Amino acid sequence: MFTIIGERINTTLGNIKKAVENKDIEYIREDVKKQTQCGATYIDVNAGARIGHEEEDMKWLLEIVQGATDLPLCLDSPDPQILETAYALVNKTPMINSISLEKDRFDSMIPFLKGKNCKIIALCMDDSGMPKTSEDIINRAKTIVGELENIGMKRDDIFVDPLIQPMSVDNNNGTMVMDAVKAIMQDLGGVHTTGGLSNISYGLPKRKIINRSFLLMMMANGFDSAIMDPLDKDIMAALKTGEMLAGHDNYCMNFLTSVRAGEIEA
């Protein structure tokens, strides 16, 4: 089953930042309810944009978000102390966003993760910077999965992020990450792959059609999760259609149900 990490509760987005500043409970609650109704698996919560207010904003958001949904949350922060505070406040097993092989990040996150009951997003990033080839991504994935297994994490709890980069920067970025995902899913059986889907279309027009097309191509290579907007009806229709075509929808029931509900149109 494809894992959808709903990306909308993020204070880097102007409307969310404003709602947090104004303590607009109803705005946050309604957005979370809509993400839930539209098929999110996790609700990502990122409170990092207001410098000096991340802890208080995270606490406030967690209370509101958990009051609006029964879904588990993806706790999104570069600060292990913020993650520790947030972890203590969640009522369901969370996903943590994220760990990488960058020394400072890795050294601070490994102690945090030891003994935790959680999912983890593992970025294919190290101190040399963004990956430049599919081999870079694959090798980093193998290293970080091995390190996480060393502290007792199961592969089913690990979501490898190959770091999707814009096509507008390099016309090999799409095939690079697709090739890497295919190899990761084959060579590291049991792990998952995820990532910020819309990164692929940054700097280009007609971004939604790019994102939809890329999602289906990634799914064909084994991609089984994405950080995305579940309120985007067209991309959700593409996802459900792709799941059906990949044989992950018994008797096409989810597809047919969505068509009858008007969620998938010609």
Q: For a pLDDT cut of 70, what percent of the chain falls above it?
A: 100
Cα separation of 224 and 218, whole Å? 9
Q: Is residue 226 part of a domain?
A: no
Cα separation of 87 and 118, whole Å? 9
Tens-digit pLDDT profile for residues 172-202: 999 999 999 999 999 999 999 999 999 999 9
Q: What is the mean pLDDT of residues 231-235?
A: 96
Same domain, 133 and 208: yes
Same domain, 211 and 100: yes
Same domain, 215 and 134: yes
Mean pLDDT over each residue of the chain, to the nearest integer? 97
Same domain, 5 and 125: no
Tens-digit pLDDT profile for residues 44-87: 999 999 999 999 999 999 999 999 999 999 999 999 999 999 99
Same domain, 82 and 145: no
pLDDT reported for residue 266 = 72
Cα separation of 230 and 242, whole Å? 15
Closest among 219, 214, 217, 209 to 243, alpha carbons compared: 219
Q: Is residue 258 part of a domain?
A: yes
Say what the pTM is. 0.97
Same domain, 43 and 97: no
List the CATH number of the domain containing 146: 3.20.20.20
- Dihedral sign from CA coordinates of 56, 67, 228, 221: positive
pLDDT reported for residue 222 = 98
Same domain, 194 and 258: no
Strands 95-99 and 42-46: unpaired
Cα separation of 135 and 188, whole Å? 14
User: What range defines the domain where residue 121 resides?
Assistant: 93-221
Strands 42-46 and 3-10: parallel
Q: Is residue 119 part of a domain?
A: yes
Weakest mean pLDDT among 56-65, 69-78, 208-217, 257-266: 257-266
Same domain, 160 and 217: yes
Same domain, 32 and 125: no
- CB distance 166 to 174 below 8 Å: no
Same domain, 9 and 117: no
Count of structural domains within the chain: 3
Q: Is residue 239 part of a domain?
A: yes
Last residue of a domain, one of 38, 63, 86: 86
Written as six digits, the tokens of 117 are: 């009951």
Same domain, 107 and 198: yes
Cα separation of 259 and 122, whole Å? 35
